[in-house]
Amino acid sequence: MGVSLQLAGDGDVAAIAALMNGAFRGTAAQQGWNVETFIKGTRTTEELLREEMAGGAQYLVAKADGTGALRGCVSLQALDPVRWYLGALTVDPALQSAGFGSELLRSAEEYAMARGARWMEITVVNVREALMAWYERRGYVRTGEVRPFPYGDDRYGVPTRDDLEFVVMEKELGG
């Protein structure tokens, strides 16, 4: 099952925001295994996505053949020529636990490698042990570095706990 990715355009922004909000903060009917229950509110907005894209983030989308419905998305950004950051890996909850996320991740890594990436970096909220384990099964390792959670910046939702931080993970690509 290969995942074909294309660079998102302005016309994709609303669908990306809807997919991310449904997958990470959706109602009970929409929730997959990857829901962020420790943050209330929306995960993103069209305005925030446009800001990220203007700042250098490349959103890639995977669409269903025939219908063009958004099945998944991912954000990539070159930190330097050989180290890239991967974020916002999002899968339609109906496709979660079916291998689509692994294929989406692999396709995003291949996209970055074709543009010179040799290392991929991600950050995961420290309370997401199942998600960190998922990335570890795909070759990512915890670096030992943690970064502060942006308390007070409620653009991505309001945290319901005071012990959140980001765990930095990385993977050597093509190695």
> Residue 9 and residue 60: Cα distance in Å, rounded?
9
Helix (H, G, I), strand (E, B) or coil at 2: coil
Number of domains in the chain: 1
Higher-confidence residue: 161 or 26?
161
Condensed to tens digits (0 to 9), the pLDDT of residues 7-21 reads 999 999 999 999 999
Closest CA to 79 of 121, 40, 130, 108: 121
Residue 142 lies in a domain: yes
Is the pTM for the entire model greater than 0.75?
Answer: yes
What value does the mean pLDDT of the chain take?
91
- Find the CATH number of the domain harbouring 31: 3.40.630.30
Any domain includes 40? yes
For position 32, what pLDDT does the model report?
61
- Domain holding 158, by residue range, is 6-172
pLDDT surpasses 80 at 110: yes
Whether 140 maps to a domain, the answer reads yes
Report how far residue 83's alpha carbon sits from residue 103's, in angstroms, rounded to the nearest whole number.
Answer: 21
pLDDT digits (tens, 9 = 90+) for 29-79: 355 666 788 888 889 999 999 999 999 999 999 998 888 889 999 999 999
Q: Report if residue 1 sits inside a domain.
A: no
- Is 56 domain-assigned? yes
Whether 64 is in a domain gets the answer: yes
